């Protein structure tokens, strides 16, 4: 009796929703499929082994009904030898066991190996890419590439290869055996194959739409979950749990409805397939019975027909679904491949010159999706000088610092260091000379020591100097494990100012020629700030300092102030000059004037 189970089918096609983006559609599917199969090339040995084991195991499987038929017939003819039958049966059974287990082991190894190697290749590729590339490709999409896309490729290796081989083998083998036993009975029985194929094709075509939509809904669900985790604090402050729950219910209900649609579709398909398969049994009984009565078919072969039909149905269904596993793997691999093939943003400069600290920006323009963030910006900074960049929110200050580190590239214009184009420097050496204190605190799930001595070149001496300068010594000594204290991912056990100072220490530990501070003082109290900035000047006398800040008081004596507004340089000069010439600057100055006498006092 043939039982086909909805669940198994759903299992096979669960992920078959094709996340086909417009871009993938342009690539001919045949070609991408070829690429997918080409992926297996280096594992040729394993795949061959897999195919061999599969064929041996499944081939032997086909012998069992034969043995039964032989047993029944030999008995009816009166020359039944029990021992031979049992021996044959045992041997066959044992062979099946050995090879099917071997097959599953090879299958597991091969698929995990392919996934591991591909993951490594992809992560290596990503690790060589530029910051701009990562932002553009979106970290969460890259995460999907490295996890669920990999899973579908893995599934392809684990299931599709051996399943298709064995299914085809069984279908062809069974058909041949049936035909050799009695072709007149076999022909109408084999007719069920195309019938099942057609009903499959129709249902799967309909299901495709639902599967695609269910993918979208899952993304939606995940987005709501992720935001509710990342925004946990604000949700509790505002008490908007119910609102979040409603958002979730909306997505969740949609997921349920699509799920029910899919279930309904398959609830129709399953009984139909079952019925068609049962028709075959009916044919065997009615027609086969007729042949047996006529004497053209033996009872044993009649029984064998019944056994083979049970074997035949399953592979047909499986093949139908495997085509979808392949389709999904193809789409996934296409996405992985696109990341692999992405040109590596040129960081190929080779100049190994050490920096003096002269920086010049010429006619720099940076824009995002057509919106300019920086417009025709030019200025120059002398080695060893102190420069402050001030300006309102979203003026492009941070972007300017990103340009100086080469994290992003301008669409127009060039950044020069000591008269040499930034592109020509070998980036590794170049970045070892620039310390960047980011505005947001980025801490890694590492020990405090590793977080600060984040770069390999940091010596204990420079680490200590950095700790002293950032006024962290006392804090470090108050920790039970000192520098070996583990920092949690979001640094939740640390205050905003402590995180900021750790970030500073990390930058200083490089012994940089140029130090970039992005709103460093925002979260550090005045007194500590003053001490720290003093320490920096004393301990790192030759440093070129570029500081993005909101406060005017500490930067009055800087060699140069650059006032940035809406992506344009409004004015450059010393504090005194700007007070005389620049109304915007005066406005900012006045906004801070109310407390400036305190600043002057201290």
Partner 1 sequence: MNYNLNIPPEDTGKKKSTLSSLKIMFSEMVEEKRTLLTAFIAMVITAAANLMGPIIIGYTIDNYIQTKEYKGVLIFSGILLGMYLISIAAGYVQSKLMGTVGQRMLFTFRNNLFKKLQELPVDFFNQNKAGDLISRINNDADRINQFFSQSLMQFVRLILIMIGAGIFLLSINLPLGAAALSPAIIIWAFTKFTTPWVKHRNAVNLKNVGFLSSEVQESLNNFKVVVAFNRRDYFRKRFDEANQNNYSSAVKAGVANNLFMPVYTLLSNIGEMVVLAFGIYLISTNHFTIGLLISFLAYINSFYNPLRQLAALWASFQIALAAWDRISRILNMENDMPYVEAKESETGASLMSFRDVSFAYPNGKEVLHHINFDLERGKTYAFVGPTGGGKTTTASLISRLYDPTKGTVLLNGRDIRSYSQDERTQKIGFILQEPFLFSGTIRENILYGNEAFQQYKNGELANILREAGLETLLQRFDNGLESKVDITGDGISLGQKQLIAFMRAVLRKPDLLILDEATANIDTVTEQLLEEILQKLPDTTTKVIIAHRLNTIASADEIYFVNTGEVVRAGSLNDAINMLKQGKMAS
Residue nearer to partner 1 on the CB measure, 41 or 371: 371
Task: Report the residue number, 25 or 123, with the smaller CB distance to partner 1.
Answer: 123
Rounded to an integer, what distance in angstroms lies between the CA atom of residue 356 and that of residue 384? Answer: 8
- In the chain, the largest separation of any two C-alpha atoms, in whole Å, equals 121
Least Cα distance to 3 among 271, 316, 201, 191 occurs for: 271
Q: Which neighbouring-strand residues pair with 572?
A: 562
* Smallest gap from residue 330 Cβ to partner 1 (A): 22
Three-state DSSP state, 68: helix
In whole angstroms, how close is the CB of 434 to partner 1 at the nearest point?
7
- Residue 181 vs residues 176, 193, 283, 312: alpha-carbon distances, Å: 9, 18, 15, 15
198: nearest Cα among 304, 320, 297: 320
- Smallest gap from Cβ 329 to partner 1, in A, equals 17
Q: How far is the CB of 466 from partner 1 (least distance, A)?
A: 13
Residue number, 20 or 299, with CB nearest to partner 1:
299
Smallest gap from Cβ 226 to partner 1, in A, equals: 6
Burial level of 198, CB count in 10 A (0-12/13-18/19+)? exposed
Tell me the H-state helices in 342-396: none
- Report which of 37, 62, 302 is spatially closest to residue 171, judged by C-alpha positions: 62
Compute the least distance from the CB of residue 33 to partner 1, in Å: 25
* Nearest-approach distance from CB 184 to partner 1, in angstroms: 16
Query: Is residue 509 within 8 Å of residue 463, measured between CB atoms?
Result: yes
As beta bridge partners, residue 564 has 569
Smallest distance from partner 1 to CB 309, Å: 10
Q: Which residues of 582-598 are buried (b: 16+ CB within 10 A; e: fewer)?
A: beebeebbeeeeeeeee
Of 115 and 562, nearer to partner 1 (C-beta) is: 115
Question: Positive or negative, the Cα torsion across 93, 94, 95, 96?
Answer: positive
Q: Which helix (H) or strand (E) holds 415?
A: strand 412-417
- Distance in Å, CB of 70 to partner 1, minimum: 10
**Residue 28 or 583: which CB sits closer to partner 1?**
583
- The CA distances from residue 593 to 379, 520, 590, 599, 601, in Å, are 28, 21, 5, 9, 13
* Order of all β-strands in the sheet with 514-518: 434-437, 514-518, 544-548, 386-390, 560-565, 568-573
- The residue among 557 and 601 lying less far from partner 1, judged by its C-beta, is 601
Report in angstroms how near the CB of residue 112 gets to partner 1 at its nearest: 5
CB of 34 to partner 1, least distance (A): 27
Q: Give whichever of 180 and 601 is closer to partner 1, judged by the CB atom.
A: 601
**Nearer to partner 1 by C-beta: 32 or 262?**
262
- Give the end-to-end CA distance of the chain in Å, rounded to a whole number: 92
Using alpha carbons only, what angle is made at residue 270 by residues 269 and 272, rounded to the nearest 5 degrees?
Answer: 70
CA distance linking residue 562 with residue 186, whole number of Å:
88
Helices (H) and strands (E) in the chain, counts: 25, 10
Residue with Cβ nearer partner 1 (201 or 444): 444
Q: Which residue, 130 or 380, has its beta carbon nearer to partner 1?
A: 130
Between 182 and 529, CB nearer to partner 1: 529
Tell me the Ramachandran region of residue 138: left when phi exceeds 0, alpha when psi lies from -120 to 50, beta otherwise.
left
Distance in Å, CB of 47 to partner 1, minimum: 17
CB of 30 vs partner 1, minimal distance in Å: 31
Judged by CB, which is closer to partner 1: 382, or 551?
A: 551
Cβ at position 477, least distance to partner 1 in Å: 13
| Closest CB to partner 1 among residues 32, 395 | 395
Element (H, E) at 458: none
In this complex, which beta carbon is closest to partner 1, that of residue 416 or of residue 589? 589
Compute the radius of gyration of the chain from its Cα atoms: 35
Instruction: Report how far residue 244's alpha carbon sits from residue 235's, in angstroms, rounded to the nearest whole number.
Output: 8
| Alpha-carbon span 104 to 163, nearest angstrom | 11
Pairing, β 560-565 against β 434-437: unpaired
CB 602 within 8 Å of CB 553: no
């Amino acid at each position: 009796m043939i039982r086909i189970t909805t669940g198994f089918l759903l299992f096979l096609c669960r992920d078959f929703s094709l996340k086909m983006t417009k871009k993938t559609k342009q690539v001919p599917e045949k070609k991408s499929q070829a690429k997918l199969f080409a992926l297996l090339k280096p594992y040729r040995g394993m795949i061959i082994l897999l195919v061999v084991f599969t064929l041996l195991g499944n081939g032997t499987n086909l012998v069992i009904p034969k043995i039964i038929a032989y047993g029944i017939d030999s008995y009816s003819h009166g020359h039944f030898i029990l021992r031979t039958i049992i021996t044959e049966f045992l041997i066959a059974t044992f062979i099946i066991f050995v090879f099917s287990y071997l097959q599953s082991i090879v299958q597991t190894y091969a698929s995990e190996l392919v996934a591991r190697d591909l993951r490594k290749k992809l992560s290596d590729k990503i690790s060589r890419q530029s910051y701009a590339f990562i932002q553009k490709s979106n970290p969460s999409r890259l995460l999907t590439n490295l996890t669920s896309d990999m899973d579908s490729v893995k599934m392809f290796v684990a299931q599709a290869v051996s399943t298709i081989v064995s299914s085809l083998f069984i279908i062809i083998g069974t058909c041949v055996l049936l035909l050799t036993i009695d072709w007149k009975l076999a022909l109408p029985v084999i007719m069920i194959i195309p019938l099942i194929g057609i009903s499959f094709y129709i249902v799967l075509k309909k299901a495709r739409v639902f599967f695609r939509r269910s993918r979208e809904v899952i993304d939606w669900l995940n987005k709501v979950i992720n935001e509710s985790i990342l925004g946990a604090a604000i949700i509790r402050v505002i008490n908007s749990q119910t609102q979040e729950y409603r958002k979730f219910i909306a997505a969740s209900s949609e997921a349920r409805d699509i799920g029910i649609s899919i279930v309904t579709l398959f609830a129709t398909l399953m009984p139909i397939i079952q019925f068609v398969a049962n028709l075959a049994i009916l044919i065997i009984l009615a027609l086969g019975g007729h042949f047996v009565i006529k004497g053209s078919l033996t009872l044993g072969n009649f029984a064998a027909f019944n056994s083979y039909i049970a074997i035949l149905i399953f592979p047909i269904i499986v093949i139908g679904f495997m085509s979808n596993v392949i389709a999904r793997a193809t789409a996934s691999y296409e996405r992985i491949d696109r990341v692999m093939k992405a040109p590596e943003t040129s960081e190929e400069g080779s100049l190994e010159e050490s920096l003096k600290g002269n920086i010049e920006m010429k006619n720099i323009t940076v824009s995002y999706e057509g919106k300019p963030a920086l417009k025709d910006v030019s200025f120059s900074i002398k080695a060893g000088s102190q420069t402050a960049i001030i300006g309102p929110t979203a003026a492009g200050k941070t972007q300017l610092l990103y340009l100086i580190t080469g994290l992003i590239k301008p669409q127009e214009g060039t950044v020069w260091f000591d008269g040499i184009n930034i592109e020509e420097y070998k980036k590794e050496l170049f970045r070892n000379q620039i310390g960047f204190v980011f505005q947001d605190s980025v801490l890694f799930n590492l020990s405090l020591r590793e977080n600060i001595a984040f770069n390999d070149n940091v010596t204990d001496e420079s680490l200590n100097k950095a700790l002293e300068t950032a006024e962290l010594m006392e804090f470090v000594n108050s920790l039970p494990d000192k520098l070996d204290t583990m920092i949690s991912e979001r640094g939740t056990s640390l205050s905003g100012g402590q995180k900021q100072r750790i970030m500073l220490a990390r930058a200083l530990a490089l012994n940089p020629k140029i130090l970039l501070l992005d709103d460093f003082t925002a979260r550090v109290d005045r007194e500590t700030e003053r001490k720290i900035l003093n320490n920096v000047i004393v301990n790192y006398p030759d440093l070129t300092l570029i500081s993005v800040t909101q406060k005017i008081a500490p930067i009055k004596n800087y060699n140069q102030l650059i006032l940035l507004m809406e992506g344009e340089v409004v004015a450059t000069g010393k504090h005194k000059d700007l007070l005389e010439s620049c109304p915007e600057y005066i406005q900012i100055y006045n906004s801070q004037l109310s407390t400036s006498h305190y600043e002057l006092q201290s």
